Amino acid sequence: MVSPLKKFMTEYKKVEAGIARVVADVFSLSYPEPTAVKKADLAVLSAEREQILLPSYGPWYKNFPLPATIRIKPMSWNQVKEIFSSEIHSLLANRPDV
């Protein structure tokens, strides 16, 4: 969910934190996420905004880092769903306790 919307959905932060804890536990990741991960996420979001969305320099965008130096390939929802599903099944299949 986009950050501006999260501000209006007060319960969302609690739900998001709970999900993040579970994901971190299942995949042996740090919780809370390191600052470097959040910065990288925002840099990719900046790249998405520049490459896919129309230019937008509203207040929600003013504190973003420079865009990541990546090339984003637009995909359909079905393509994304297939790739995500394949990756998550692969990751879970490699865990001995799942």
Residue 49 lies in a domain: yes
Domain residue limits at 26: 3-68
The count of domains in the chain is 1
What is the predicted pLDDT for the residue at 86? 97
What is the pTM for the complete model shown? 0.67
Give residue-wise pLDDT tens across range 27-86: 889 999 999 998 999 999 888 888 887 666 666 666 778 889 999 998 999 999 999 999
Residue 7 lies in a domain: yes
| 15-19, 49-53, 85-89: least confidently modelled range | 49-53
Query: 18-49: buried (b, 16+ CB within 10 Å) or exposed (e) per residue?
Result: eeeeeeeeeeeeeeeeeeeeeeeebbebbbeb
Residue 87 lies in a domain: no
Residue 75 lies in a domain: no
What is the predicted pLDDT for the residue at 98? 57
What is the predicted pLDDT for the residue at 13? 83
